[in-house]
Amino acid sequence: MICGSCLCGRIKYQISGKVGDIVHCHCQSCQKAHGAAFSSVASVSDHHFKLTTENPLGCYASSEGKNRYFCLNCGTQIYAKRVATEHIILRLGSLDNDPQAKEKNHIWVSQKAPWYKLHSDLPCHQEFE
């Protein structure tokens, strides 16, 4: 079972299915939300993702139709979701074990942090792939 949690432990989740390919997103919204150079994410079907704690998640609409969910106590980003989709976009930094997924690419490299030098064998896209 693939498991994850926030920094303070008030939010925990389990994934019962497959984690999609890993995408490293360098967009400015991800930089701000995560306080990091980029955010590593992968899609997981709604049916396979289950919160195992009762504590509510915070929600921030970072752009029209896209919500980012996080722990209200410690601020850990857990997942993002576009309205009318049947999958979440999991924030992989919240995982507690190996999702057994493979890296796919870097996206929004056009917005990359100027202080971060990207050395990668993966495909790099200026915007979304």
Among 2, 6, 42, 109, binds Zn ion (CB under 5 A): 6
Q: Which residue's CB is nearer to Zn ion, number 17 or number 97?
A: 97
Supply the minimum distance, in Å, between the C-beta of residue 99 and Zn ion. 18
Map the footprint of Zn ion across residues 17-76, applying CB under 5 A. Answer: 25, 27, 30, 71, 73-74
Question: Shortest approach of Zn ion to residue 92 CB, angstroms?
Answer: 13
Tokens of 120: 């990668």
- Residue among 49 and 69 whose Cβ is closer to Zn ion: 69
Nearest approach, Cβ of residue 8 and Zn ion (Å): 3
Q: Which is nearer to Zn ion, 30 or 90 (CB)?
A: 30
Residue 4 corresponds to which tokens in the numbers above? 């994850």
Contact 77, 60 (CB under 8 A): no
Is residue 8 part of the contact set for Zn ion (CB under 5 A)? yes
Contacting residues toward Zn ion, per CB under 5 A: 6, 8, 10, 25, 27, 30, 71, 73-74
